[in-house]
Structure formats: structure tokens, C-alpha cells
Amino acid sequence: MGEHARLQDILTHLDQGLEDALARLMRFLEIPSISTDPAHAGDVRTAAEWLAQELRDLGFDTQVHDTPGHPMITARSPRGDARPLLFYGHYDVQPVDPLSLWDRPPFEPAIEDTPQGRVIRARGASDDKGQLMTFVEAFRAWKAVHGALPTDLILLFEGEEESGSPSLRPFLIEHADSLRADLAMICDTARYADGRPAITTQLRGLVGQEVVIHAADRDLHSGSFGGLAANPIMILAQALAALKDDTGRVTLPGFYDGVADLSPELARDWQALNFDAADYLSRVGLSQPIGERGRTALEMVWNQPTAEINGIAGGYAGAGFKTVLPATARAKVSFRLTGTQDPQAVRQAFQDHVRRFVPADCRAEFHDHGAGPASVMDISDPAFGQAKDALTQEWGQEAAYIGGGGSIPIAGDFKELLGMDSMLVGFARDDDRIHSPNEKYDVESFAKGARSWARILSALR
């Protein structure tokens, strides 16, 4: 039997087994594996054991590893001579508050008929239980048709993705040798906004930085000191305001080192997305893109770095008025990075910048938060083109290489700790309400997601 015929058999198997696959997902979704809530620690473990048993039943050599937090699951298919691939997903879910906004209990999953088609409604349906089961079901169908699992697969599932992944990096470091594959397939992203299939090939990096300006050693009365004593809010405002110039460019010296313009191929793909910035902004009550002139909106969000103030506090901001000159003022600032921008250099440039605004009798205190470079995948790897073709065939429309404005730390961790590139393929939709009440996953996303993986596996194996 040729490869093409076998793929067709796998796809048929998936189609015929859809209701069974949904039933399995329902059982998975019934487990309230909320990782951030200690009261649910037992449920998180139950979810890990449920998933591990599924993998064992499929023939994976499966281990549930204890960590200081929630368990890690690793699973391996038999060795062969194929290119080693790692598949990643997470079995923990977000909290469900406020419960009153849910139309049904979040851990009593159901298939609902909606005007937009059938949806799976439950916490975790999209993020990430439904998504990770797309590749598990693809492996199941492969095995049913081939009589054996695809070879040379490493599966990695974590139970802390929704609570900061504290155990992930230590685990990757400890198990680096056994986890290192040629490419990681991360299934935790969405299709493009219009529903077309997409591979995310670049993500912005992130540097988080907190700054506290200290002036007087106590709050002062602005009548007695105003105009004479340093005001830390003003110092902070002036330092932050000067982070961008009139054209929207970040002013830190060397900030743009490593930022590259789009390749012609990506520029073409992105152009074809027909991104409507006005429409995108209008959905959140805005209408005007900010940022550098001459850049498309997608470039601004996916391929250009930015400096953003995420929080600021100082003095009295409650009801009424207090004529205080506060002792301190603080802000949280983050930088989204692209290309090969160096997070530590950006952090240092920001700190140097702030210090230039601080008079000699005041001081700036810095608290470093997370830092990671941008993830830029090497799409000259043939796997990308093969996966893109496979997605195009499955969905009947051209798959796109897209970017992401946010960071998916796991991709950076894989690169940094295992030297491994990632391919981000997911089937979620923008309207899946992940992290919100009434989360859902389209049955179409689930069914065609599994079929997509079958096609990609077939192309790569």
C-alpha cells in the first residue's frame, strides 16, 4: 500500500472514529486540572495519569515525572530511522472564575449545536486539552492503519503552563539528552483570524522590568515642598515619556540592533492575509494604529519591537484628593523583541535611560522580570514547507506563515536549552474564549486538526 493510500485510510479512520475521539476528550475535560489552585493539585495529577494511560494504551513508553509542582509526562514511540520530532502540549487549564458567567458547569463538557457549527464546550476544550488530543488521535489512527506508532516521536506534556511553568526549565535541563529532537511541534496556537490554517514562524521576545523611583524618605505635603523637592512621579513620567520619539520609535540606544525587515516570502504571505487593522482595533473600541509610519499593522505587532508601560502607581490615586508628594513611584515596563535583539542589552539600555532622569539625591531601583529573545523559526527547513502544503490540502485554502506578537516561552526554552527549533501549529479560533467563561473548541477544529497532523506526519515520515 502506498503512502498516499495509507494517509487516506488514516483520514477515513479519523472520520469514522470522530465520535469516539470526542468521547475520550470529554472524559479528559471532566477533570478540573486547574494548575494555579493548590486545591486542585490532585485533579491535575488525575489528568496527568489519565493522559499517561491513554499514551500507554497506544504503545508509547510513558513516564509520569514528579516535579516540585505538577507532573511532567514524557512518552516515546519506538526508535526508527526517521527524523526525531517532539510534540508538546499541556494538560492543565485556567481557573474558571467567575463561575456565574458560565452557561454550563465548566467541567461538565458537552457538544453544543450552534449557528457556527458544533462546538465542544468546557474549560480546556481549546486550551489545551482539545488541541493536544488532535495529535494524540492522529497517532492512534496512524497506528490503526500502519499497525505501529510513527517512529522517533517524543511527547512532552506539562501541567503548569497556565501557572508560569516553574518546573519546565529545570526539567528540560535535567532531561535535555532524552528530550532533544530535531524539531518541536507545539500545538497551543490558533489558526489565523479568518480561519485559514497557519504556521506561526516567529514570536516576539519579552523583557519585563519594574522600576521604582525613590525620592524623599517619606510622603511630603505638596504645600510645604512642592516646587522645591523632587517628585518621583514626575521623574518617572519624564523617563517613560522619553522612551518613544514623536514617530513612535523607541529611543533607547542600540534598541533596534538585530531587528530585521521581513523577508520577501513572509512579506508576501502576510500581505495575503489582508489584515484589516481598523477592524481589528475597532473590536476593542479603537480606530488608529500607532507606531512607526510606513509599517503595516501586522509588521508592528509581529515583526517590530515595542516598549509598553504595563502598570504605573504612585502617590494617592483613590477617591478625592491628597496633595502629597510621594516618596516613591513605580512602573512596570515590558519590551517586545524581534529578530536577534538581545534581552539583556535592552534591559541595560532601559536602566541606563531611566538613570539619566534621576537627580543625585533620588535613586532608581530595578526589579528584573522575565527576559527572552524573539523566536524566529528557520522556514528553510523543508518540514515547514511540507507542513504548510499538508495544511493547505486539509483545509482547502492556502496555509499561511504568520507571526505572533506575544511570546510562547516554551519555544524560546526549547531553542535555548535544547538547541531545537519549533513549529507552532494549532487549530484554535480567536473566538474560543480561552481563559474566559464558556470556553469552546469547534468540532471542526478538533476533527480537521487531527486530520492535519495525520497529513503532516505523513509528509514528514
Q: 381 to 440, contacts with a second copy by CB under 8 A?
A: 404-407
Which residue lies nearer to a second copy by CB, 144 or 267? 267
Strand, helix or coil for residue 319: coil
> Binders of a second copy among 238-277, rule CB under 8 A?
238, 240-244, 277
Are the C-beta atoms of 338 and 412 separated by less than 8 Å?
Answer: no
Distance between first and last Cα of the chain: 15
Q: Least separation, in Å, of the C-beta of 350 and a second copy? A: 14
Which residue lies nearer to a second copy by CB, 148 or 241? 241
Sign of the C-alpha dihedral computed for residues 422, 85, 180 and 428 taken in this order: positive
- CB under 8 Å to 333, separation ≥6 — which residues? 208, 209, 210, 211, 240, 243, 307, 308, 309, 310, 350
Are the C-beta atoms of 163 and 92 separated by less than 8 Å?
Answer: yes
Strand partners, 214: 328, 363
> Binders of a second copy among 342-381, rule CB under 8 A?
359-362, 369-370
Which region among 42-50, 146-154, 311-319, 342-350 touches a second copy (by CB under 8 A)?
A: 311-319
Give the one residue of 144, 273, 312, 345 binding a second copy; rule: CB under 8 A.
Answer: 312
Q: Least separation, in Å, of the C-beta of 308 and a second copy? A: 5
Cα 46 from Cα 40, distance rounded (Å): 10
> Binders of a second copy among 69-98, rule CB under 8 A?
none
Is there binding between residue 236 and a second copy (CB under 8 A)? Answer: yes
Q: Least separation, in Å, of the C-beta of 338 and a second copy? A: 10
The secondary structure of residue 148, as a DSSP letter, is S
Give the one residue of 150, 314, 373, 412 binding a second copy; rule: CB under 8 A.
Answer: 314
Cα 411 from Cα 180, distance rounded (Å): 13
Cα 452 from Cα 135, distance rounded (Å): 9
Which residue lies nearer to a second copy by CB, 281 or 345? 281
| Binding pattern for the stretch 159-198 against a second copy, x by CB under 8 A and - elsewhere | ----------------------------------------
Q: Least separation, in Å, of the C-beta of 242 and a second copy? A: 7
Number of residues that bind a second copy (CB under 8 A): 81
* HEC secondary structure over 48-96: HHHHHHHHHHCCCEEEEECCCCCCEEEEECCCCCCCCEEEEEECCECCC
Which region among 73-81, 283-291, 342-350, 439-447 touches a second copy (by CB under 8 A)?
A: 283-291
Q: Least separation, in Å, of the C-beta of 268 and a second copy? A: 21
Q: What is the DSSP string of 374-415?
A: -EE--TTSHHHHHHHHHHHHHHSS--EEEEESS--HHHHHHH
Give the one residue of 301, 337, 434, 454 binding a second copy; rule: CB under 8 A.
Answer: 301
Q: Least separation, in Å, of the C-beta of 414 and a second copy? A: 18
Which residue lies nearer to a second copy by CB, 119 or 215? 215
Which region among 101-109, 115-123, 127-135, 202-210 touches a second copy (by CB under 8 A)?
A: 202-210
Strand partners, 208: 334
∠ CA 123-71-446, rounded to 5°: 35
> Binders of a second copy among 203-232, rule CB under 8 A?
204, 206, 208, 210, 215-218, 220-231
Cα 113 from Cα 109, distance rounded (Å): 13
- CB under 8 Å to 456, separation ≥6 — which residues? 185, 386, 387, 390, 391, 425
Give the one residue of 47, 51, 64, 331 binding a second copy; rule: CB under 8 A.
Answer: 331
Q: Least separation, in Å, of the C-beta of 460 and a second copy? A: 29
Q: Least separation, in Å, of the C-beta of 286 and a second copy? A: 5
